[in-house]
Amino acid sequence: MASTPEVSEQQQLRKSLKNRHIQLIALGGAIGTGLFYGSSESIALAGPSILLAYLIGGAAIFMIVRALSEMSVEDPKAGAFSYYASRYWSKRAGFISGWNYWFNYVLVSMVELAVVGSFVNYWFPNIPQWASAAFFLVLITILNLFGVSEFGEFEFWFALIKIVAVIAMIAGGIAVIVANLPTDSGVRASFANWFTVDGGFFPHGALSRTSDGHWTGLLMALVVVMFSFGGTELIGVTAGEVENPRRTIPKATNGIIWRILVFYVAALGIIMAVVPWDRIDGQMSPFVQIFDSVGVPVAAGILNFVCLTAVMSVYNSALYSNSRMLFSLARQGNAPAYLGRVNKRGVPVAAVLTSAAVTVVAVFVVFLWPQFAFNYLMSIATIAAIINWTMIMITEMLFRKRVAAGDGPGELRGLRGDEALAKIQFKLPGWRWMPYVIIAFLALVAVLMCFSPSYRIALVAGVVWLAVLFAAYALTQRAGR
């Protein structure tokens, strides 16, 4: 078991995040490129049945976050599952979990920066996408150098803009449907479009192959859907800076269910009722296309601004979580010590700047390979997320074993067996079997990635990346002797 070195109060993160911050941060981390931009790809793969894919994937991600929150409520620490993997599994597991999460969010940052230019180009088509990526990289880095309470405020308002906009889009879409307004597609807005347009609700079935050899269908869409949900685990990462984790974390975690229903299922359902699913071409966000299709360019421009805000929000969260993960890794002894230092405001400045510096690579990737930037980086980020989520579920099982053995955190320490397990405040539903179900589901998603060329490369990259992490840990241990 890895030990965390004692540090002075001045060298600790500040517990300044309030309940309203956590509620919106939890939402902001999951609503970004995957919903506003990547949803066009998932709709193309599954048609209206994508709604089922979001329900299935949402149920899985909810259980993953519940598993993480179970540990966060009892043992709130910065770095969340990296710390828990180190504490309840092994120092090597903490190293692999933490660095993989950091790598995952560097990739997510690259994906967000890769598409930010498409939203800027809606108004300013002559601005190069790499220039937009560079501008927002610098801006968000500066925001993250403020204290955590200021970060919470920025993210609160970023997320609030997304919430209001999506709800307004849903209300506007319902109004278009009720009024039966014509669209530029020639198809009247109606929920019947889910079942009558080009193949109905399951146009490609569960899994099918097109004439050009590409796999489509509900199951293939699950891969894109799971990328969309990346970021929900940010609830656990914030645990070390929350004022009242025992009250705040359960409330934010349980709120994920209605967020999935409203912001994914309801929103995309409305979009496909107004814009026939086979007309969603991916040239612009489906959220913008819905208003373009009924001749309301002003509303489309407003939604484009919201999409831009959403991308900024996710990158803001990504940089925050990456800096806290490096901070936690340094405190575990799994990263250079300088990354574990904080300034007078409780900000791990070196960790923020290091993560931002690595993400600068995104600007060059966007400039040199704009199509690669989204397609391949998203797929590699997905396999990195699957590794994270799998390790969370395994760590939760090991956490319970340690609790039952009398080695639990806080109030659980010294208690044993069923008595100790009964004292866990925020239990994972079906904890005896649920981790195995979720791990099997994640394994299915990994297998499905083999059916797509871009995701197949990512799967290979994931195996190579794990090998690199194992080798890096072995080298660091040898160097430390």
β partners of residue 17? 242
- Is residue 152 within 8 A of residue 25, CB to CB? The reply is yes
At position 104, the amino acid (one-letter code) is N
In this prediction, residue 8 carries a pLDDT of 44
468's tokens? 């690199």
Rg, C-alpha atoms of the chain? 22
- The length of the chain in residues reads 481
Q: Which residues contact 449 (CB under 8 A, 6 or more apart)?
A: 223, 379, 382, 383, 455, 456, 458, 459
**Nearest C-alpha neighbor of 310 from the set 14, 39, 68, 34:** 34
Distance CA 343, CA 255 (A): 33
pLDDT value of residue 281: 67
Domain boundaries, the chain: 19-399+449-480
Average pLDDT across the chain, whole number? 81
Please state the rounded mean pLDDT for residues 287-314. 74
Cβ atoms of residues 299 and 288 within 8 Å:
no
Mean per-residue pLDDT, 209-215: 82
| Residue 27 pLDDT | 64
Q: For residues 130 and 446, which has the higher predicted lDDT (pLDDT)?
A: 446
Q: What is the mean pLDDT of residues 87-113?
A: 86
Q: Give the end-to-end CA distance of the chain in Å, rounded to a whole number.
A: 17
pTM of the model: 0.85
Q: How many other β-carbons are positioned within 10 Å of the β-carbon of residue 379? A: 26
pLDDT at 26 over 70: no
Q: Does domain 19-399+449-480 have CATH number 3.40.50.300?
A: no
pLDDT of 143: 85
Tokens 């949900």 label which residue?
229
Which position has the token pair 């790499």? 130
